[in-house]
């Protein structure tokens, strides 16, 4: 019963993953070379909306290195031309009737090498008849607008859905009795997650066994397997989806893309493995985008600054197919969280979704299913209200934030926030950043004509989707499994359904098991990303890994521990009831000399020891975790900017982020996740946007045009924390992966608007590029979703430069 | 056409198409998959390798242009059994998450420290500004490079005081601390 002194496994452990990555020994999809492997490439539409008159692959087929050309017709013959999306819509795998966005998939070439596959694309002759494109979402429902989805029987407009939440009558009544009402239109522009590794796959269909092995950049390998089975008609036990190392996901790798299906069909047709890796332009132009939310917000308050109610109307541009990856019952995602962190009497929102001739998506990019949009809206509205009331925005928030005694708190739109001490977290942020001194400095600088701004954002997230009763994707409940094997020598292997794209699961989940079982982190191996080796579950997105799979890991470890208790009792010849788990082992209560470590118990459990009733042998266990509720991490962010009035250039001088994500298993990894999310938020606020010209040409199709923040735009992030454990999570964790992306854009925009107050600027839409800021200073804010004049007469982004 | 390129001290002679990009030559022809392809337009830097003594974006260099030259990739960093301090710094300071940008970042950082052994955070950010990381927000990358600089400075001043790269190479532990 000897052993090292007990020490918690939680803490800033170096990551197990790093050993391979720092040596260049990771295995990303494009690193995999299979014997006889062929390469695929996709021919894409140059037009946003056009009827396909003919597709002639003959010249491409004649290319000496081409093995197959697959067209929409080829797929239609197999009933595979249209595939289900994750939002109960269908999407063309390869277009048969029309193309509906620029970059849409039209044909697939399979060739001996990647260069030849690309060459052959040039040889495919496609005849198009151009149709008028619908680009401005605000005109998608105009009478006479071209009907994009005429593939849907009886479809006569571009309407997708209407959805509402909250009590409209109570909200209207609160507004009627309010002293102050502030309204504002705002856009959360179309952005793209742009993971550094693009999407891709290798499909290998073994003709003899009938087994499909699918290497792919998937955040949800099990869900993809089920979808392949249902769509392709392959039996599910004959499909193995492997997601090896993934070069970032951020939501971009949750959906199934046409290229994956094409690779599979390519392997069916040629009998050989087929690799398809998209290039950067394909990634930006055709895979899941995010946001594109046009919001009209109203906030009602008393003159003394008590917020009464919020009312929102939103127009959601979902592109040409509804490919939003979100729980089925939530067509607007979790936008219903828009009442934010405040104690409101009432709230109501109404969202209308529309089709446009743009790439499909909507929910992707670290958004927690649209809480980004919700937080941005409410935090902008609160700042606008502060301006109207001439109140300090920090004071207005402190006055209205939910109080600790109000938890658990059911919001006006029905979300049950589990825990929080919001004001404390905001005060920590205000103290840490030196808020009063900053305001003083700002006043002095304003006196000198300098534009300094201080922006606050307070956010509440809802992550860890989710309770099976309410949440499913394609009918698959959002519960996740975990298997834990303990070998005779006490080394453990945890298999989980979620999949890491850089989050460090191999380390964090090993820490969870190690903590529960008194093991060394090095003695726990985490297996993930391979459907043949892991239990079913919905995957990694929506910050759900630690809330769901992390919980499963703790629960399954506790099952092992309880079984070990019975074995330990037999070993110690004591009653199991007399044992206590302390110091990472089972010992006789009050007698530290009588104890057994898990390694000792594991060996006994595999031995010929007479085991007590109820223990067959071994310690292995499995579980499925069905979350009782979402988890609700929150935080207070403060951004300090300097704006050059002559050029509109925004420099983020400081950014203070105080996150409360409950218990932190590995604080180093948590902080890294926050850093990354802050950079994303800064990017969205200041530079990232995918815009379109009036013909539907995508103007964000490369990193030359779609600007991402680099090391010089980002400040040195300042972090602090509060810890309010989640009351219903086995280890009190809440998830953190998307918090910073959700919370930070509003802080940056609030800071820039604060800086522009001397010019009387109330609002300008993201991204606050120098040109857009300069336009706002001139009193002519632009539409940042368009590169042409909108129907309302406002100039598009590129019109003002 | 036939080219001979010395990659990480080993000479490789291959028949290639004139249009073949260096990144594809390294990855597909030589199987050195540590260098990654990310954007095609020289913006992201996932493909950074050294061509002779200079970091280049190998997605915009033809393999033919490397004929007769030396290339250094992440696989050539450090020595057998001993990591480059930059590699060690990235692991210790959590300078990577998904690991896709990491090889390129480390190779540029190595070049920086060879030319400026004691860079300021601003100089580190400037040096890495042609490369994109989507995960870390750059903060811990800067700290990683600082860690390596400090480790190497300690070595020059009479030997590291401990905590540096081990002779037996890297092995993650549960007790490592952030930088």
Distance CA A180, CA A304 (A): 10
Share of chain A above pLDDT 70, in %: 99
Per-residue pLDDT, A614:
75
Yes or no, beta carbons of B134 and A668 under 8 Å apart:
no
Distance from CA of A302 to the nearest CA of B (A): 40
Which residue on chain B is closest to A21 by alpha carbon? Answer: B99
User: What is the count of residue pairs from A and B with beta carbons less than 8 Å apart?
Assistant: 208
Query: Is the confidence at residue A362, as pLDDT, over 90?
Result: no
CB atoms within 10 A of CB A119: 17
Residues 6+ apart with CB under 8 A from A215: A29, A32, A201, A202, A204, A242, A243, A244
Nearest CA to A504 out of B177, B179, B145, B96 is that of: B96
Q: Is A160 helix (H, G, I), strand (E, B) or coil?
A: strand
What's the pLDDT score for residue B174?
33
Q: Nearest chain A Cα to B177, which residue?
A: A12
* Kind plus residue range of the DSSP H or E element containing A171: helix A168-176
Closest chain A residue to B97, measured at CA: A502
Residues contacting residue B121 through CB under 8 Å, at least 6 positions apart = A716, B142, B146
- Which pLDDT tens digit goes with each residue over A777-799? 999 989 999 988 887 778 887 54
Task: Answer whether A672 sits within 8 Å of B97, measured CB to CB.
Answer: yes
- Closest CB from B73, B98, B137 relative to A679: B137
| Tokens at A172, concatenated | 């209207």
Chain A residues close to B178, C-beta within 8 Å: 12, 668, 671
Please list, in sequence order, all residues whose beta carbon lies within 8 angstroms of the beta carbon of residue B77, skipping any fewer than 6 positions away. Answer: A23, A24, B83, B84, B86, B87, B106, B107, B110
Half-sphere exposure of A407 (CA within 13 A, CB side): 19
Task: Please report, for residues A652, A712, B86, B113, B126, the alpha-carbon distance to residue B122 in angstroms, rounded to integers and kept in the order given.
Answer: 14, 8, 18, 14, 6
Average pLDDT over residues A378-399: 98
Find out whether A485 and A620 touch, Cβ atoms under 8 Å: yes
Q: Hey, of A10, A13, A20, A24, which one would you mutate to test binding to chain B, going by the most B CBs within 10 A of its CB?
A: A24
List, for residues A489-514, the tens digit of each pLDDT value: 999 999 999 999 999 999 999 999 99
Closest CA of chain B from A30, distance in Å: 8
**What percent of chain B has a predicted confidence (pLDDT) above 90?**
84
Find the mean pLDDT for residues A539-545: 94
pLDDT per residue as tens digits for the range B7-59: 999 999 999 999 999 999 999 999 999 999 999 899 999 999 999 999 999 99
* Per-residue tokens: A641: 């900017």
pLDDT digit string, tens, across residues A151-161? 999 999 999 99
What pLDDT does A4 receive? 54
Q: How large is the ipTM?
A: 0.97
For strands A212-216 and A200-205, give the pairing. Answer: antiparallel
* Band (B171; pLDDT cuts 50, 70, 90): very low
| Closest B-chain CA to A681 | B137
Q: In the block, which residue shows the tokens 């994707």?
A: A473
pLDDT for res B170: 38
> Within 10 A of A548 (CB to CB), how many other CB atoms are there?
33
Residues of chain B in contact with residue A14, where contact means CB-CB under 8 angstroms, are 91-92, 94, 172-173, 176
pLDDT at A795: 83
Q: What digits encode the pLDDT tens for the residues B138-168?
A: 999 999 999 999 999 999 887 544 444 443 3
DSSP code per residue over A714-742: S---EEEE-----TTSTT-B---TTHHHH
The answer on pLDDT for A801 being more than 60 is: no
Whether chain B has a CB inside 8 Å of the CB on A37: the answer is no
* Range with the poorest average pLDDT among A479-483, A612-616, A690-694, B116-120: A612-616
Q: Where are the beta strands (DSSP E) in A195-246?
A: 200-205, 212-216, 239-242
Q: Both tokens of residue A175?
A: 């507004």
Q: Are A502 and B135 in contact (CB under 8 A)?
A: yes
Query: What gap in Å lies between CA B111 and CA A513, rounded to an integer?
Result: 40
User: How much is the pLDDT for A793?
Assistant: 76
* Terminal alpha carbon distance of chain B: 48
- The pLDDT of residue B162: 46
Q: Tell me if residue B141 falls in helix, strand or coil.
A: helix
In angstroms, the CA A153 to CA B51 distance is 58
**Which candidate from B101, B141, B170 shows the least CB-CB separation from A196?**
B101
| Closest of A185, A384, A365 to residue A790, by C-alpha | A185
Read off the pLDDT of residues A61-84 as tens digits, 9 standing for 90 and up.
999 999 999 999 999 999 999 999
Are B173 and A13 within 8 A, CB to CB? yes
Contact assessment for residue A801 and residue A780, using Cβ atoms and an 8 Å cutoff: no
Distance of alpha carbon B40 from alpha carbon A640, whole angstroms: 35
pLDDT in tens, A669-719: 999 999 999 999 999 999 999 999 999 999 999 999 999 999 999 999 999
Higher pLDDT, A636 or A362: A636
Residues of A in contact with B73 (CB under 8 A): 24
How far B5 CA lies from chain A's nearest CA (Å)? Answer: 20
What is the average pLDDT value for chain A, to the nearest integer?
A: 96
What is the Cα–Cα distance from A771 to A647, expressed in whole angstroms? 8
Cis peptide bond N-terminal to B176, omega within 30: no
Any B CB within 8 A of A678 CB:
yes
Chain A residue with the nearest C-alpha to that of B29: A33
- A514 and A521 in contact (C-beta within 8 Å)? yes
For residue A513, CA distances in Å to A383, A509, A552 come to 44, 6, 10
Neighbours of A175 (CB within 10 A): 18
Q: Is B163 left (phi over 0), alpha (psi -120 to 50) or beta?
A: left
pLDDT tens-digit map of A347-358 = 999 999 999 999
Contact A672 B140 (CB under 8 A): yes
Q: How far is B157 from chain A (nearest CA, A)?
A: 26
Q: Which of A653, A640, A658, A633 is nearest to A428 (CA)?
A: A658
Residue-level pLDDT at A334: 96
Secondary structure in 3-state letters for B108-126? HHHHHHHHCCCCCHHHHHH
> Which residue in chain A has the smallest CA separation from B20?
A115
User: Which of B22, B46, B98, B170 to mutate to test binding with chain A, by most A CBs within 10 Å of its CB?
Assistant: B98
Residues of B in contact with A28 (CB under 8 A): 33, 36, 100
Q: Are B144 and B93 in contact (CB under 8 A)?
A: yes
How far, CA to CA in Å, does A164 sit from each of A313, A333, A347, A685?
Answer: 9, 11, 11, 27
Per-residue buried b or exposed e for A581-616, using 16+ beta carbons within 10 Å of the residue's own CB: beebbbbbeeeeebbbbbbbbbbbbbeeeebeeebe
At A490, list the tokens. 């006490």
Residue range A741-749: mean pLDDT, rounded: 98
pLDDT of residue A798: 57
Residues in B touching A674 (Cβ below 8 Å): 137
**Inter-CA distances, A112 with A41, A64, A115, B16, Å:** 11, 9, 9, 15
Asked if residue A556 lies in contact with residue A475, where contact means CB atoms within 8 angstroms, the answer is no
CB of A254 within 8 Å of a chain B CB? The answer is no
Q: What is the pLDDT of residues A638-653, one digit of tens each?
A: 999 999 999 999 999 9
B41: nearest CB among A675, A703, A710 = A703
pLDDT of residue A5: 65
Q: What distances in angstroms separate CA A368 from CA A292, A415, A462, A668, one per listed residue?
A: 15, 14, 7, 22
Residue to substitute from A711, A719, A740, A748, interface B, most B β-carbons within 10 A: A711
**Mean pLDDT value of segment B69-78:** 98
Q: How far is CA A766 from CA A191, A749, B12, in A?
A: 10, 8, 50
Of A19, A22, A710, which is closest to B102 when you measure between CB atoms?
Answer: A22
Tokens representing A655 are 């950014």
A196 and chain B in contact, CB less than 8 A: yes
Q: Which helix (H) or strand (E) holds B146?
A: helix B139-156
């Amino acid at each position: 019963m000897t052993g090292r002194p007990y020490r918690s496994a939680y803490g800033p452990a170096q990551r197990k993953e790093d050993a391979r990555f720092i040596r260049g020994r990771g295995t990303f999809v494009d690193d995999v070379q299979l014997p006889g492997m062929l390469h695929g490439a996709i021919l894409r539409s140059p037009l946003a909306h056009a009827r396909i008159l003919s597709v002639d692959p003959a010249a491409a087929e004649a290319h000496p290195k081409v093995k197959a050309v697959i067209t929409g017709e080829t797929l239609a013959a197999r009933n595979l031309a249209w595939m289900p999306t994750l939002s109960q819509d269908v999407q063309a795998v390869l277009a048969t009737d029309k193309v509906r966005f620029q970059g849409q998939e039209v044909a697939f070439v399979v060739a001996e090498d990647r260069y030849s596959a690309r060459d052959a694309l040039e040889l495919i002759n496609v005849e198009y008849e151009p149709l008028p494109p619908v680009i401005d979402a605000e005109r998608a429902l105009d009478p006479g607008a071209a009907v994009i989805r005429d593939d849907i029987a009886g479809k006569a407009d571009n309407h997708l859905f209407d959805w509402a939440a909250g009590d409209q009558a109570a909200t209207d009544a609160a507004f009627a009795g309010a002293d102050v009402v502030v309204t504002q239109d705002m856009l959360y522009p179309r952005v793209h997650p742009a993971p550094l590794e693009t999407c891709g796959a290798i499909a290998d269909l073994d003709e003899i066994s009938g087994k499909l092995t699918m290497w792919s950049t998937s955040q949800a390998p099990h869900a993809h397997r089920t979808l392949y089975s249902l769509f392709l008609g392959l039996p599910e036990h004959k499909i193995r989806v492997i997601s090896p190392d993934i070069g970032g996901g951020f939501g971009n790798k949750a959906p199934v893309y046409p290229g994956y299906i094409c690779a599979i069909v390519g392997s069916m047709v040629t009998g050989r493995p087929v690799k398809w890796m998209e290039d950067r332009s394909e990634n930006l132009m055709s895979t899941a985008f995010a946001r594109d939310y046009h919001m009209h917000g109203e906030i009602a308050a008393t003159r003394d600054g008590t917020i009464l109610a919020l009312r929102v109307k939103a127009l959601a541009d979902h592109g040409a197919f509804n490919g939003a990856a979100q729980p089925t019952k939530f067509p607007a995602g979790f936008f219903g969280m828009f009442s934010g962190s405040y104690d409101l009497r009432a709230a109501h929102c109404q969202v209308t979704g529309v089709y446009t001739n743009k790439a499909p998506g909507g929910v992707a990019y670290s958004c927690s299913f649209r809480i980004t949009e919700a937080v941005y809206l409410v935090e902008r509205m609160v700042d606008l209200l502060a301006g109207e009331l001439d109140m300090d925005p920090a004071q207005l928030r402190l006055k209205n934030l939910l109080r600790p005694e109000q938890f658990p708190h059911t919001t006006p739109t029905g979300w049950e926030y589990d825990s929080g001490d919001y004001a404390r977290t905001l005060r920590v942020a205000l103290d840490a950043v030196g808020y009063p001194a900053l305001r003083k400095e700002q006043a002095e600088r304003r006196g000198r004509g300098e534009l300094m701004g201080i922006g606050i954002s307070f956010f509440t997230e809802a992550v860890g989707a989710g309770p099976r009763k309410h949440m499913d994707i394609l009918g698959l409940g959002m519960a996740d499994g975990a298997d834990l094997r303990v070998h005779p020598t006490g080394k453990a292997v945890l298999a989980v359904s979620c999949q890491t794209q850089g989050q460090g699961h191999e380390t964090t989940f090993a820490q969870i098991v190690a903590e529960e079982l008194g093991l060394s982190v090095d003695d726990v191996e985490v297996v993930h990303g391979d459907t043949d080796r892991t239990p079913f579950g919905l995957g990694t997105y929506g910050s759900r890994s630690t809330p769901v799979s992390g919980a499963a890991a703790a629960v399954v470890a506790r099952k092992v521990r309880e079984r070990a208790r019975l074995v330990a009792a037999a070993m110690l010849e004591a009653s199991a009831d007399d044992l206590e788990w302390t110091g990472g082992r089972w010992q006789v209560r009050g007698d530290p000399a009588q104890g057994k470590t898990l390694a000792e118990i594991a060996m006994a459990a595999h031995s010929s020891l007479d085991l007590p009733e109820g223990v067959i042998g071994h310690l292995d266990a499995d579980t499925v975790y069905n979350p009782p509720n979402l988890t609700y991490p929150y935080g207070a962010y403060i951004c300090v900017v300097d704006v050059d009035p002559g050029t509109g250039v925004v420099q983020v001088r400081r950014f203070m982020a105080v996150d409360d994500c409950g218990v932190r298993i590995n604080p180093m990894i948590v902080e890294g996740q926050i850093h990354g999310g802050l950079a994303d938020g800064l990017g969205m606020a200041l530079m990232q946007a995918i815009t379109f010209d009036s013909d539907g040409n995508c103007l964000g199709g490369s990193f030359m045009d779609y600007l991402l923040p680099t090391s010089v735009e980002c400040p040195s992030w300042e972090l602090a924390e509060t810890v309010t454990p989640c009351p219903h999570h086995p280890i009190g964790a809440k998830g953190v992966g998307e918090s910073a992306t959700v919370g930070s854009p509003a802080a940056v925009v609030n800071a820039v608007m604060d800086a522009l107050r001397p010019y009387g600027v109330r609002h300008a839409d993201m991204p606050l590029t120098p040109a857009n800021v300069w336009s706002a200073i001139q009193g002519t804010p632009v539409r940042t979703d368009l590169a042409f004049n909108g129907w309302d007469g406002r100039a598009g982004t590129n019109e003002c430069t | 056409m036939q080219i001979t390129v010395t990659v990480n001290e080993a000479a490789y002679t291959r028949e290639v198409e004139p249009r073949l990009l260096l990144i594809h030559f390294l990855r597909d022809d030589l199987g050195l998959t540590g260098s990654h392809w990310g954007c095609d337009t020289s913006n992201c830097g996932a493909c950074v390798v050294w061509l002779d003594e200079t970091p280049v974006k190998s997605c915009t260099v033809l393999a033919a242009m490397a004929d007769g030259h030396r290339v250094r990739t992440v696989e050539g960093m450090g020595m057998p059994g001993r990591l480059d301090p930059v590699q060690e710094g990235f692991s210790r300071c959590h300078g990577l998450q998904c690991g896709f940008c990491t090889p390129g970042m480390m190779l540029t950082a190595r070049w920086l420290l060879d030319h400026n052994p004691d860079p300021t955070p601003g100089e580190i950010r400037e040096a890495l500004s042609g490369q994109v990381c989507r995960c870390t927000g750059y903060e811990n990358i800067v700290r990683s490079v600082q860690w390596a600089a400090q480790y190497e400075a300690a070595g020059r001043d009479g030997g590291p005081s401990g905590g540096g790269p081990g002779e037996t190479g890297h092995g993650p532990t549960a007790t490592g601390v952030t930088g």
